[in-house]
Structure 1
Amino acid sequence: MGEISSRVQANMDVVLQQVCAELPHGGDHESRKYIAEQLIEAVEAGHHTLGDLTAVARRALLQINNRSNST
């Protein structure tokens, strides 16, 4: 992965905290890791804005919730 600017890193941190706050106890390690990986992939694909990253993180959260509900 290339160098991530401090602004993009800050956006990623904010989004991860906001989205994981919706999970019980702030989310377990695997859930947080999955969302963070999705954010990294989005940044590598050129999505750097807070809005873009929030959409990616919320989509990842839905996927986590769908997996939990189907088991």
Structure 2
Amino acid sequence: MDQFDDRTRANMDVVLEEVCAELPHGGDHESRKYIAERLIEAARGGKVSLGELTYVGRRALVHLLNRHRSA
């Protein structure tokens, strides 16, 4: 994460916490890791605003929830 500026890192942290707060107990390690990886990919692709990262984080959450339902 050293490749990102302070604002981007802060935005990523905020989004990760907000999105994971919707999971039971704030999410397990694997769920948090999955969402964090999606946020990192987005930031590397230039999506660094709070709105863009929130969108990516929520999409990752929906994907996780759908994956758990079908399992």
Overall identity of the aligned pairs, in %:
63
Matches within 5 A, 1:48-63: 48-63=48-63
Structure 2 runs not aligned, ≥5 long: none
Matching residue of 1:24: 24
Report the Cα offset of residue 3 of structure 1. Answer: 1.4
Task: Give the aligned CA root-mean-square deviation in angstroms.
Answer: 1.1
Aligned CA distance change for structure 1 residues 2 and 17 (closer, same or farther; 3 Å): closer
Deviation, structure 1 residue 2 = 6.5
Structure 1 unaligned blocks of 5 or more: none
How many Å separate the matches in 1 of 2:39 and 2:2?
14
The number of residue pairs the alignment matches comes to 71
Residue 9 (1) aligns with residue 6 (2)? no
- Following TM superposition, where does structure 1 have runs of at least 4 consecutive aligned residues deviating by more than 6 angstroms? none
TM-score by length of 1: 0.96
